[in-house]
Structure 1
């Protein structure tokens, strides 16, 4: 899994295809997709155009996609996986990830709600049973590896303890305001890649990219605050995902350089803000938390 990953949560299919094409052109070779994003077909079109043009080889692109919450029941896993493969126009998926540990009521409605507007969960399946269904995908040779997303360390320990095939990757929110050091240590111990989403803080308040520690380092090394935060992510041993539809920003997010060791230490010791921006780990419903000053 290349450390620099391109996230594809882009609502418009045309913008998705253009952004993926731009990301391929600047050098991204790791793409994070999901059935929940409803744009896998546009991503597949961009991949095929690049493969057919001969500018990129399929074997050089690491494709991740995710099983949505409504498909946790074992009999729904393979059909959901096959549908993602068809949309992405790939025979194999490099890493197939359970999008969240929460099972929703199975069906075509991705966001099932009751009369009061509350999510309808599915108590008829355990995460362990879903994991076993993913293991069978590896056995069949269609998924090269499997992983988890939006999971707590406690829940990850349970899966690792009972898994026949261990997770290869764990995708969680992580940035200098939420470094997840304990989770990272556990992942290292078990040979799991920690894949950080929102590595730039998602532009939320407080704004990570305006943090004085980050901005001072950026000024010193001649990079942008975003490039400093992404370099920090890669240097500490995680992979990261960035998303943009702007070619110049896509290029900038790929153009990172090694930080001096004292800068890495400054970020670890000098930043005391600790904040989670996304509530998905508690509900299974993705969404960044608006904050009021």
Structure 2
């Protein structure tokens, strides 16, 4: 990875020579109309990595914004990196390809740059994305293993239309299991990571195996304790004349990770792309002086996303 003064165009190369833009726009936005507007604003600002998911229920809106940019001549397919995800209810191998093809249709794309298993937890297969029993407990599917689902993704790569594959919401222990048996190794793993959850051990493992670690909730998702109010980050922001958000995002890229950020505000979208390299002493400060450690999303424990409502 080459770090320039401006970090917005940084790309990270995987073991499989897949080049992934470090700066990504996440599309976890409940309203489809707002999704299309925000995606359009992100593409106009210069984002070239879009992160989508079947579970977000808005792939068609993202696809509309992409197609509008293609038609306007402001974007070429080869300049855009699109990720989408397989939901928990589709882990059985026979359900993987139909789910993948449905995502392609909704996005209006022939090829997906990276297809990711949304969580390592298999839910009861069916149309209900959030299957629950009479007592409100998630109904898991014990009839399929994560390795079997991974092998179904490998076949997607063999068949074309899927350029690379990855995992999300995964622990280091589970990732080790997949890497040990994978015929096609993960190109990317997507996990919660930010200055309050640096995931250093996982990042070291990913570096060793040529896997891109992509951080979601890279700004802490505005939850308490607020990452962007940390005194170390705010002091650095004043010193380098950037916002605390820009400091946290620059830190993410400089430490060798990709990140996702989501906003529906065009000004904030542009701000999140306007990141510059931090001085080395600032990077050391963030490593050594930030001691808060907190995970905001318990999805790694249950497979139930903490940032998506059950009905949304």
Same fold (TM over 0.5): yes
Supply the RMSD in Å over aligned alpha carbons: 0.8
Match of 2:136 among 117, 127, 138: 117
Provide, for residues 121-177 of structure 1, a one-character-per-residue CA deviation record: whole Å limited to 9, x for no partner. Answer: 000000000000000000011110000000000000000000000000000000000
CA distance in 2, matches of 1:83, 1:60: 23
Determine whether 1:32 maps to 2:51.
yes
Provide, for residues 249-279 of structure 1, a one-character-per-residue CA deviation record: whole Å limited to 9, x for no partner. Answer: 0000000000000000000000000000000
* Aligned counterpart, 2:30: 11
Q: Counterparts in 2 of 1:144-155, with a 5 A limit? A: 144-155=163-174
CA distance in 2, matches of 1:251, 1:148: 28
- Report deviation, 1:288: 4.8
- Partner-residue secondary structure (3-state), 2:202: helix
Determine whether 1:23 maps to 2:42.
yes
Displacement over 6 Å in runs of 4+: none
Provide, for residues 49-78 of structure 1, a one-character-per-residue CA deviation record: whole Å limited to 9, x for no partner. Answer: 001111010110000000000000000000
Q: Counterparts in 2 of 1:33-72, with a 5 A limit? A: 33-72=52-91
Determine whether 1:77 maps to 2:96.
yes
CA distance in 1, matches of 2:136, 2:182: 35
* Aligned counterpart, 1:257: 276
* Aligned counterpart, 2:227: 208
Which stretches in structure 1 are left out of the alignment for 5+ residues?
Answer: none
- Partner-residue secondary structure (3-state), 1:104: coil
Which stretches in structure 2 are left out of the alignment for 5+ residues?
Answer: 1-19
CA distance in 2, matches of 1:28, 1:244: 12
* Aligned counterpart, 1:103: 122
Match of 2:105 among 82, 86, 90: 86
CA distance in 1, matches of 2:197, 2:226: 13
In 2, are the aligned partners of 1:151 and 1:281 still within 8 Å (CA)? yes
CA distance in 1, matches of 2:296, 2:31: 24
Determine whether 1:240 maps to 2:275.
no
In 2, are the aligned partners of 1:277 and 1:288 still within 8 Å (CA)? no
- Partner-residue secondary structure (3-state), 2:21: coil
Provide, for residues 55-113 of structure 1, a one-character-per-residue CA deviation record: whole Å limited to 9, x for no partner. Answer: 01011000000000000000000000000000000000000000000000000000000
CA distance in 2, matches of 1:275, 1:257: 26
* Aligned counterpart, 1:164: 183
Give the paired residue count. 289
CA distance in 2, matches of 1:166, 1:11: 32
In 2, are the aligned partners of 1:105 and 1:112 still within 8 Å (CA)? yes
Provide, for residues 196-232 of structure 1, a one-character-per-residue CA deviation record: whole Å limited to 9, x for no partner. Answer: 0000000010000000000000000000000000000
In 2, are the aligned partners of 1:171 and 1:196 still within 8 Å (CA)? yes
